Amino acid sequence: MEKANMSGLRGWVTAWRAAGPLLDEVKRREAGQVDLAATIMELTQAFRAALKACPPAATSGLVEQQRWLAGWRCKT
């Protein structure tokens, strides 16, 4: 690797080492402020909207995948 690239990589690693503990602290602080019940309600509404927009398929596709892969199987 070129010397300039190594220098940039070292700087990037150093920056993330410094930022990691700070980001962990932000995550801990924000997690303590979450209204879990409200979050679940919002996610439930989003999930229901997604189901309306893209209803699940009648099958998982596993049978079709197995049929497709069976064509690759060596015939002995």
Q: Report the sign of the C-alpha dihedral through residues 49, 52, 54, 57, in that order.
A: positive
pLDDT tens-digit profile of 14-58?
A: 999 999 999 999 999 998 898 999 999 999 999 999 999 999 888
Tell me the domain boundaries of the chain.
Answer: 3-70
Measured distance CA(3)–CA(26) in Å, rounded? 35
Quick one: DSSP state of residue 35? -
Q: Name residue 30's amino acid.
A: E
Q: Quick check: pTM over 0.75? A: no
